[in-house]
Amino acid sequence: MFREWPAGRLGRLFRVPLKPGERSALKLHLAAQALGAVASGVVLNHDYIAGNGLGGSVAQITALAMIWPVSNLFSVLASHWLDSTNSHFRAMMLGTVMRLAVALMAFSSSVNTMLLLLFLFFASNSVVIPGTNAALRHRYRRGNRGVLFGWGMSVFNLVSLPASILVGVLLDADFSLYRWLFLAQGIFGAGQALCFAMMVRGLKNDGETPSVSVREMFRGLVAVFRADREFVLFEAFFMLYGFGFLGIQPAIPFFARDVLHLSYEQYATAKGVLGQVGLVFLGPLLGAGLERIRPFRFTGHMCMLLAGYPLLLAASSLTPGLGVPLFYGAWMVYTTAMAGIHISWSMSSMHFAPEGKVATYQGFHVTASAFRGFISPALGSVIMQTFGYTANFAMSAAFFLAAGILFLRHARKRALSGLPSGAPPSLPGST
């Protein structure tokens, strides 16, 4: 048993009692979030850099929207490796190198080169995200986990807000500075992965039987889907949300450029500031709430609210005189809803996963985003080019509403049946 760590400065700041190990883990966690936030200031402007500055085509911007989810396709393999080998630290170091590669964009003006380097950058998530979630589960106690995760998200977004604005200002002043911005993305993104690597150094799995057989891994995945119906339903409903989220991405930079004629600073203000500010203030509150609210109900409410984001974009396209204010309003709705969605996406697998399986569950979660990433951006692009921006925005709203209704309907059915939120199911290989 650990004794309680005296509150000290960190304890008073976060209003949680910290045990030995939690305080050092929190320092690394917050440092990682701050470094990653600087890189995020560039990431949030990728589509406008490619579409407006480098002359990217619709096909290239669609591919850009696909890179993040598709690059996570091998997350299940990476997660299995982490679950079965205690290789968290080595995996994070690999992710550090993969993120650093995007700095090579400093020597290129090709959108295709940008796509290749970003594929490596985002593919690092296949090892960084499952390893990070394992660290959060092991380094923080259950009662502290949501709150500290939320505060970490707030630090991330508090730093990313001025970083996004600075990126827009620099690009408006001299677009050629994009080369230095990609260099910064590589360095700071790698720094984030390195801090998380230090956070998981020496981490041991809790009861997992080592196995590196891919065949056994896939048998385990089949067992998860057969035994854990709640997790299957959650992923299915979350898939609909993902179609709405990714399907709208190809339209936004072209709509901002061709219809609203936004500058880089205006675009950064909307997407990088208004679109992220809710995560700063709502992150800790929602992070704490997730441990008390069922993921179905919690995520359902967020999806229903998120539907207002594409609906306001549709209104922006239909009323040119109010286009820019409505565009800004859409991102304010987006930031409120996505504060909850982000926490749900990052932590819900911890709710479902039995001991020793959290990385596998999160790997499934991440890999599911890869499969929808193959389809939804292309679908959104086709609808945009065939029927226009308003139709694309309406499609996105329909997916959000469908996901929200299904999440809430299932939560209500469980409540009426008297089923508790319950512990995760017992699965082969779990303890």
Nearest to 373 by CA among 125, 179, 139, 141: 125
Determine the average pLDDT of the residues in 149-171: 85
For 327-347, letters b (16+ CB in 10 Å) and e give bbbbbbbbbbbbbbbbbbbbb
φ/ψ (deg, to 5) at 69: -70, -40
**CB within 8 A of 216, min separation 6: which ones?**
none
| Beta bridge mates, 5 | 18
Is residue 191 scored above 80 in pLDDT?
yes
The CA distance from 400 to 394, in Å, is 10
Determine the average pLDDT of the residues in 120-130: 83
The CA distance from 397 to 393, in Å, is 6
- Please report the pLDDT score of residue 74 as a whole number: 67
The CA distance from 357 to 205, in Å, is 9
What phi-psi label fits residue 39: left (phi over 0), alpha (psi between -120 and 50 degrees) or beta?
Answer: alpha
User: Apex CA 96: angle with CA 94 and CA 97, to 5°?
Assistant: 70
Is residue 7 scored above 60 in pLDDT?
no
Confidence of residue 419 (pLDDT cuts 50, 70, 90): low
Structure tokens at 17: 């009692």
- Please report the pLDDT score of residue 135 as a whole number: 77
Percent of the chain with pLDDT over 70: 75
Determine the average pLDDT of the residues in 400-427: 74
pLDDT in tens, 346-374: 666 667 767 666 666 766 776 777 788 88
DSSP class of residue 54 equals S
- Please report the pLDDT score of residue 16 as a whole number: 61
Confidence of residue 318 (pLDDT cuts 50, 70, 90): confident
Are 330 and 101 within 8 A, CB to CB?
no
- Please report the pLDDT score of residue 220 as a whole number: 62
Range in 51-60, 62-71, 388-397 the model is least confident about: 62-71
The CA distance from 393 to 81, in Å, is 39
Confidence of residue 248 (pLDDT cuts 50, 70, 90): very high
- Please report the pLDDT score of residue 3 as a whole number: 41
Range in 82-91, 160-169, 383-392, 396-405 the model is least confident about: 82-91
Determine the average pLDDT of the residues in 146-167: 82
- Please report the pLDDT score of residue 91 as a whole number: 80
Is residue 285 scored above 70 in pLDDT?
no
Determine the average pLDDT of the residues in 30-34: 91
Confidence of residue 20 (pLDDT cuts 50, 70, 90): low
Determine the average pLDDT of the residues in 260-281: 85
Mean pLDDT for all residues in the chain: 80
pLDDT in tens, 331-347: 999 988 988 887 777 66
Structure tokens at 429: 């290989």
Is residue 305 scored above 90 in pLDDT?
yes
The CA distance from 14 to 23, in Å, is 11
- Residue by residue, DSSP assigns 276-325 as THHHHHHHHHHHHHHTTS-HHHHHHHHHHHHTHHHHHHHHHHH-GGGHHH
pTM of the model: 0.76
The residue that leads in pLDDT, 3 or 81, is 81
Q: Reduce the DSSP state of residue 7 to 3 states and report it.
A: coil
User: Apex CA 61: angle with CA 57 and CA 63, to 5°?
Assistant: 115
The CA distance from 339 to 345, in Å, is 10
